Amino acid sequence: MMEGWIGRGVGSYASWVSGLADGLILVLVLLSAVGIYFIALRLVVRLIRVLVKRSDNTLDDELVSSRLFCWIAQLVPGMMVWAGGQAALRNSTASEAVRVLAEIYIIVMVSLAVSSILNVCERIYRRFPVSREIPIKGFLQIFKILIFSAAAIFMVSAILGKSPVIILSGLGALTAVMMLIFKDAILGLVAGVQLSANRMVARGDWIEMPKFGADGDVIDVALTTVKVQNFDKTITTIPTHVLISDSFKNWRGMSKSGVRRIKRNLLLDMNSVALLDVKSIERFRKIRLLRDYLDRKEKELGEWNKQFPKEENAEPVNARALTNLGTFRAYVGEYLKSHPKISKDQTLLVRQLQPTEKGLPIEIYIFTNDNRWIEYEAIQSDIFDHLLAVLPEFGLNVFQSPTGADLKNLR
């Protein structure tokens, strides 16, 4: 009779007592998991960081700066809850809920750990010069998308209690929707492969793309975007696929060559062009850079003019003669050849272009042997400062559009 009474008494409270016991056991498991996490984080992780810092290899420093060890340490309590929670709980519903939550937690931690490993690989890769030629950030981002997509599938599988294969087979109908959602990623993947395979653009390149207002150095080549830091320190973001479909200028070849081109005109007043007389020729002989030219040219013109009677050559139109413009072009060529900042291995050209309403263009086409921006501009300015200053010595004038004051003087 007593046993029946006790049995009836206990039976009325059996579910409550069972639930309380399960709750206490779950709390103990959670507290143990938290304790193990702090032990793993503070002892094991800290020990690994000390060993890495003492290592002579600098590549493993990237592991310390990442959160990889933190994610791995957080896996331990998740696995303990997954194993201990299911074993301790007698209530099947509660046990299943703990299992699902623990599996989702473990999947998230594993995904974050793998993503952290990829980040470490990228930072180590960027230390090598080849990273400027072949960027891999876009490919690593693709791997991350695949990893987190797989993690999402496994989480849904854990919640539904179904095999991931069944869920994957059901995604076939959503292919079109997925392609629409990940359109930029797919276009970026194709463009990234072409950019890397053809080495069209890499981090550190100077590119120009006026359509997007980009003129500066590439600082990042990602899956869907390329970031350019312009020279005014603004950032321009360009879709990766646009670099394949549209044109842009990459200055990498110039940067690697060590030289940089100067292509610039001097606009001369055509009215100042004239033949040289004997007095002018003798004066130009005092210019060291012109002596060889004058000797060679006078010999050439003298042999030519001997073919005709002297009385005919008395007319300037009948005879070949030196001009101040031709002599000036010869001087410019010799001056540039002797300039220490002009490359002697590249094209060096001083030529006359088609006259226009703005004067007679004399084009200077040369390459400096220093392609640094500030130094390049200084070299170019010094050359043209000198040429503009010596123009009057040759009787030549720079063309300038007349101003209001000049027009008054013409009256």
Residue 7, in any domain of the structure: no
SS3 content of the chain, % helix, strand, coil (to 5): 65, 15, 25
Nearest C-alpha neighbor of 222 from the set 185, 252, 250, 251: 185
Q: What is the pLDDT of residues 150-174, one digit of tens each?
A: 888 888 887 877 777 766 666 655 5
Task: Name which residue leads in pLDDT, 297 or 75.
Answer: 297
Residue 21: pLDDT band with limits 50, 70, 90: low
Residue 8, in any domain of the structure: no
Residue 371, in any domain of the structure: yes
Residue 12, in any domain of the structure: no
Task: Give pLDDT, residue 155.
Answer: 84
Whether 279 and 143 share a structural domain: no
CA–CA distance, 16 with 190 (Å, rounded to integer): 61
Task: Give pLDDT, residue 330.
Answer: 94
Whether 26 and 170 share a structural domain: yes
Whether 247 and 281 share a structural domain: no
Q: Count CA atoms closer than 13 A to 224's CA, side-chain side.
A: 8
Domain end, chosen from 254, 270, 299, is at: 254
Whether 23 and 138 share a structural domain: yes
* Average pLDDT value over all residues in the chain: 79
Retrieve residue 310's tokens: 């002297």
Q: Provide the number of structural domains found in the chain.
A: 3
Looking up residue 220, the CATH number of its domain turns out to be: 2.30.30.60
Does the pLDDT of residue 175 top 60, yes or no? yes
Whether 165 and 23 share a structural domain: yes
Q: Which helix (H) or strand (E) holds 358?
A: none
Whether 21 and 136 share a structural domain: yes
Whether 250 and 325 share a structural domain: no
Length of the chain counted residue by residue: 411
Whether 289 and 233 share a structural domain: no
Q: Which domain holds residue 201?
A: 196-254
Whether 331 and 237 share a structural domain: no
Looking up residue 341, the CATH number of its domain turns out to be: 3.30.70.100
Task: Name which residue leads in pLDDT, 2 or 72.
Answer: 72
Whether 352 and 379 share a structural domain: yes
Q: Which helix (H) or strand (E) holds 9?
A: helix 2-39
Task: Name which residue leads in pLDDT, 7 or 48.
Answer: 48
DSSP count for the chain of H helices, then E strands: 19, 8
Asked whether 113 and 72 are in contact (CB, 8 A), the reply is: yes
Q: What is the DSSP string of 69-121?
A: HHHHHHHHHHHHIIIIIHHH---HHHHHHHHHHHHHHHHHHHHHHHHHHHHHH
Residue 231, in any domain of the structure: yes
CA–CA distance, 55 with 48 (Å, rounded to integer): 11
Q: What is the pLDDT of residues 51-97, one digit of tens each?
A: 777 766 666 667 767 777 777 777 777 777 776 666 566 666 666 77
Task: Give pLDDT, residue 394.
Answer: 93
Whether 30 and 137 share a structural domain: yes
Nearest C-alpha neighbor of 61 from the set 75, 48, 73, 74: 48
Strand residue runs (E) in 135-284: 206-209, 214-221, 225-230, 235-239, 249-250, 260-268
Domain end, chosen from 230, 254, 278, is at: 254
| Nearest-10 Cα torsion for 175, 179, 181, 186 | 140
Whether 300 and 217 share a structural domain: no
3-state secondary structure of 362: strand
Residue 379, in any domain of the structure: yes
- Residues with Cβ within 8 Å of 132's Cβ and at least 6 positions away in sequence, in order, are 202, 203, 204, 205
Residue 125, in any domain of the structure: yes
Domain end, chosen from 224, 254, 284, is at: 254
- Whether the CA torsion 97, 99, 103, 109 is positive or negative: it is positive
3-state secondary structure of 355: coil
Residue 10, in any domain of the structure: no
